[in-house]
Structure 1
Amino acid sequence: MQPRYQPGTTIRRCEVLHGQLWMEHPVTVVADDGDVLAVLLEPGSTFVFPGHPFGPHPWGAHEQWGASIVLQLLRAGDKYGVWKFYETDGTFRHWYVNFEAPIVRHDDGFDTDDYGLDLIVHPDGRREWKDVEHLNAQMTQGRITLETVGEVLAAAEDVIGLLDEDERWWAPWDDWTPA
């Protein structure tokens, strides 16, 4: 049985590349129903980058998360998380779809891996793809396989379908704000 986390608990969000820890940092559990895990990434969350045979993590020059508050919604089995960005004063900035490996839960946190492709959904509904070139670069570098690229593109198509049909599973979080 997969662990469920209690709201208010601090857990570890780990990026795992080729079976080895590449980056980790703390997040705070907002809610967990066993299917959707909601965690909060706050400014100052400290990054840890253990040595990795693949080399340094792309964020290795950063010691901590920057100047935004991020609600991360992660649904079991999805190759993406849906993030809700806020300014530090709590003002909503935008939704952000982060294409990443499906989470693997552990007693003290979860594993994932960022695939590099992102989609920003602005408050007015405008969509903006970000880091599209990273998919090819990650494949060329050996971080992901051609099969994974295909799966990410299929997940991106699914997300676009959810947005087009206004069938966003994350819609219940539209009114949530950091308090």
Structure 2
Amino acid sequence: MDRRFQPGDAITLRELWRGRVFEARPMIVVQDDPDQTTLFLPGGVRCGVPVGEDGSSLRLPDRPWRLEVRPRGDQPILSFAWPDTPYSVLLWTAEDRRRVWYVNLEDPVERTPIGFDTVDHALDVVIQLDRSSWRWKDEEELAEAVRDGLFSEAEAVDFYVWGERAIDRVLAGEPPFDRDWEDWRPDPGWPVPELGDGWDADPGE
């Protein structure tokens, strides 16, 4: 699918697991060019999240789940993704309320009629906004996913390789990290995004 979205379009970014929707977030397109896609996730929007049979939230697709629509936290997120690149980089607010670069290891995003699909790889990286330090995040979660057979050990090694490449990209100040994004603000005329029609339909349905 080659259709490009326009700035201000509301789309749905979905995380899949083995052909099923595991999570869905309504977002706004900031940029959708052949070499980069930039998306904005406002705070407080209603997302599709996975819950177990008892209604508890799930971190990993390690047991049966269903989807519920729930409001997310109030912190906005700006995300950058690139073709054939198995990670995205987010401008994120950490638990201490400081802004950080957050590398999310994942399958390269694929276009759909309502937005984009990907598969999360569990492993993440947190990089200080001034690039003074960085750390791996959710290593235990990835190790658990490997033990549970969700990923192979070889895949986990590959995730670390791509994480290091993402770290190098940010630390080197390669575009778009060659400018200050901390003061970026969304267009006030953009809509509050909602989950697109059919957001919970598994691919192929």
- TM-score scaled to structure 1, two decimals? 0.83
Question: What is the RMSD of the two structures over their aligned residues, measured on CA atoms?
Answer: 2.8
Cα distance in 1 for residues equivalent to 2:82 and 2:8: 19
Cα distance in 1 for residues equivalent to 2:2 and 2:120: 22
Cα distance in 1 for residues equivalent to 2:176 and 2:85: 12
Matched, 1:78 2:85: yes
1:64/1:135 CA distance change after superposition, 3 Å: same
1:138 Cα deviation after fit: 1.3
Correspondence 1:35-50 to 2 at 5 A: 35-49=35-49
1:124/1:99 CA distance change after superposition, 3 Å: same
**Which of the pair has more CA radius of gyration?**
2
1:2/1:53 CA distance change after superposition, 3 Å: farther
Cα distance in 1 for residues equivalent to 2:121 and 2:167: 17
Matched, 1:160 2:156: no
1:45/1:132 CA distance change after superposition, 3 Å: same
- Note if contact 1:17-1:143 (Cα within 8 Å) is conserved in structure 2: no
1:136 Cα deviation after fit: 1.3
Q: 3-state DSSP class of the match of 1:171?
A: coil
Amino acid at match of 2:19: G
Which deviations, in whole Å up to 9, do the C-alpha atoms of 1:64-113 show, x marking residues without a partner?
Answer: 221211001011111110001259xxx97111111111111112111112
- The residue aligned with 1:136 is 143
Cα distance in 1 for residues equivalent to 2:179 and 2:91: 9
- The residue aligned with 2:114 is 108
Amino acid at match of 2:114: D
Gaps of 5+ in 2: 52-60, 187-205
Taking only the aligned residue pairs, the percentage that are identical comes to 27
- The residue aligned with 1:56 is 65
Cα distance in 1 for residues equivalent to 2:68 and 2:112: 27
Matched, 1:98 2:104: yes
Higher RCO (CA < 8 A, seq sep 6+) = 2
How many residues were matched structurally? 173
**Aligned counterpart for 1:149 among listed residues 137, 156, 181:** 156
1:158 Cα deviation after fit: 1.3
Which deviations, in whole Å up to 9, do the C-alpha atoms of 1:3-50 show, x marking residues without a partner?
Answer: 211110000100100111111121100111122110001112212247
